[in-house]
Structure 1
């Protein structure tokens, strides 16, 4: 039941926007009435338009039954947002911390994690899924059970039916490839800012490698080290907190990176930038700010608007992350299109 509710939420609240007709028709009708009332009042201030909306009270009663009090100025978007917020609250308030729908609703409500769903498929820009990848990604997004069987992982743990274990297991397939693919996207963006950007450059004095990417002149002539990592949203140690607040695992990962590298890099005259996200696509605020700065710098040569550059970079990262989430599931179960196995039904 919670999964069906999650399905009806908009992207930015963790759903797919597949609403019931009733949840769309009442906001649409009442919003139209309000728009018409406003227009008629401007054209004919003394004309009573109430008689033209005999069914308006029915729509108002629907909202009142849900403890929502619409005004005569409410637009369709405002009314629909009120219904969506209430549905999100009902998922949050009628579930336990271990309910899959709640975990995903909280994680996806960060807004950024839904970038892969909003991306226009463009294979040349890395913004495309295969049909099989997309099916598995949507199931992961909604917390729908993936497979009835619960085999053992290579770490000898039982794999849950939602596939969450595979996204966080250190023995899981393709985790390193996922990390490297995300690093490549950021590396390519930084190369557009400076040709001297390198991968895994060590600090000369102690040969340590504090980051995946080295930029020789990122801030006021200071070198910068960017270190990207992906933390599993449903780690057992974070699952209680993750059910109430988005980005808990990512924040912990960022703190660990700072503890390990920040002082060393600063002592050598550089700046350290941890870029930490979660398996469900939540980035830390610091990482989002840094990625926005990187995207802005690419516009100097490309000439494209900054907002478009930011959106494109975040969507490429989002699509890549969720493609690899799906690939991890497919690879473990040995389910690939070339095997002739149909996952679309």
Structure 2
């Protein structure tokens, strides 16, 4: 389809492009089991790097693809024909839609350059739509961060642990694009109201997903350290203080400067009442605050261990210290395995575990029944 967009003036066939996009949207709704309409479709069609799902609308790509192709083949085309009517019209349509200045001459052969202005325009429209809603503002800022969409780039391979269940994928998609994922109800654990977006489950203290997510993240870190030739153990003995506080894991061998590594993981809710205001102003603020709390909590270990506070958010953002540690761990994995994409794969695994925990946290708030067990139960 991209070849067709680049090789012909498809932007003249607006109705046909809209029909194609409508079919794409219907297929996306069927696959994800999420109702996608209006503003959620606008976000879903953005690139992953801009907070979308990467399912692009051909109606939006038509002019960037054509303009980039014209500039990339200008020398050959000028030798064949002198007509510029189609190009001029396409340029006018692009300027009307993007409201931006023309890209530099040297970059005009790149489709991404033309497309970027349209993407930014769409992002502005979405943010203006939710400008008075701090929850959606915090969500939009979070999903724009590079690490938040890593689960969308992972190959679904069961043997690698990167295959998400249908329900986990459905909830992850709904949370990312701000689509309804459940009917309003009362949380079965704490009896507080849960809206159609299911955000309550992400911060409910009784949610089962919080503990499973915490354990899964720690296990990914431990396995990565072992692969990087730094054996580590979880819940180590002999490292607690007078208040019985101890980190989630400790390496068995020195990590840096002859000191062993100690780490502690936390995953805070981006849109929790205590975090949503700061998260709507700057992405990652909830994780940064959690990182500071971890440093204070384990300051007694600073003289003996290299402590790494690993703070994540439910919408995928990581704290600065966490990203610094993961980059170093990714570099060590690359040296140990020879795989150049080790850091990327590590981020994907962590991102997937966060989404799985989110899905379980959201679905565990829904009242549960006995199912068929009650039918076959005989006293």
TM range (shorter): 0.7 to 0.9
1:118 aligns with 2:150: no
Equivalent residue of 1:333, what SS? coil
Aligned partner of 1:310 in structure 2 is: 343
Give the whole-Å Cα distance in 2 for the aligned partners of 1:235 and 1:333.
19
Aligned partner of 1:68 in structure 2 is: 100
Deviates more, 1:173-182 or 1:83-92: 83-92
In the TM superposition, what are the counterparts of 1:321-340 in structure 2 within 5 Å? 321-333=354-366
Deviation at 1:202, TM superposition (A): 4.2
Going from structure 1 to structure 2, the CA distance change for 1:304 and 1:91 (only over 3 Å counts) comes to same
Cα pair 1:13 1:109 within 8 Å, conserved: yes
Aligned partner of 1:89 in structure 2 is: 124
Deviation at 1:127, TM superposition (A): 0.4
Cα pair 1:63 1:70 within 8 Å, conserved: no
Give the whole-Å Cα distance in 2 for the aligned partners of 1:329 and 1:238.
18
Give the whole-Å Cα distance in 2 for the aligned partners of 1:333 and 1:230.
22
Aligned partner of 2:256 in structure 1 is: 219
Deviation at 1:253, TM superposition (A): 0.4
Give the whole-Å Cα distance in 2 for the aligned partners of 1:36 and 1:163.
50
Going from structure 1 to structure 2, the CA distance change for 1:61 and 1:167 (only over 3 Å counts) comes to same
Deviates more, 1:90-99 or 1:157-166: 90-99
Alignment RMSD, CA only?
2.4
Equivalent residue of 1:55, what SS? helix
Aligned partner of 2:286 in structure 1 is: 249
Deviation at 1:210, TM superposition (A): 3.5
Gaps of 5+ in 1: 340-345
Give the whole-Å Cα distance in 2 for the aligned partners of 1:57 and 1:294.
51
Gaps of 5+ in 2: 1-37, 373-379
Aligned partner of 2:88 in structure 1 is: 57
Going from structure 1 to structure 2, the CA distance change for 1:94 and 1:102 (only over 3 Å counts) comes to same
Give the whole-Å Cα distance in 2 for the aligned partners of 1:59 and 1:335.
55
Deviation at 1:167, TM superposition (A): 0.7
1:239 aligns with 2:272: no
Aligned counterpart for 1:274 among listed residues 291, 297, 309: 309
Give the whole-Å Cα distance in 1 for the aligned partners of 2:180 and 2:211.
25
Alignment TM-score, normalising by the size of structure 1 = 0.87
Give the whole-Å Cα distance in 2 for the aligned partners of 1:100 and 1:205.
37
Cα pair 2:185 2:366 within 8 Å, conserved: no
Cα pair 2:239 2:247 within 8 Å, conserved: no
Cα pair 2:134 2:276 within 8 Å, conserved: no
Going from structure 1 to structure 2, the CA distance change for 1:127 and 1:151 (only over 3 Å counts) comes to same
Give the whole-Å Cα distance in 1 for the aligned partners of 2:46 and 2:211.
33
Deviates more, 1:284-293 or 1:194-203: 194-203
Give the whole-Å Cα distance in 2 for the aligned partners of 1:22 and 1:153.
44
Going from structure 1 to structure 2, the CA distance change for 1:196 and 1:85 (only over 3 Å counts) comes to same
Alignment TM-score, normalising by the size of structure 2 = 0.80
Give the whole-Å Cα distance in 2 for the aligned partners of 1:281 and 1:10.
16
1:159 aligns with 2:194: yes
**CA deviation profile, 1:63-88 (whole Å, cap 9, x unmatched):** 22231222454221101111112211
Aligned partner of 1:264 in structure 2 is: 300
Give the whole-Å Cα distance in 1 for the aligned partners of 2:289 and 2:240.
29
Cα pair 1:213 1:227 within 8 Å, conserved: yes
Deviation at 1:164, TM superposition (A): 0.8
Equivalent residue of 1:93, what SS? helix
Deviation at 1:57, TM superposition (A): 1.6
Going from structure 1 to structure 2, the CA distance change for 1:234 and 1:59 (only over 3 Å counts) comes to same
Going from structure 1 to structure 2, the CA distance change for 1:100 and 1:4 (only over 3 Å counts) comes to farther
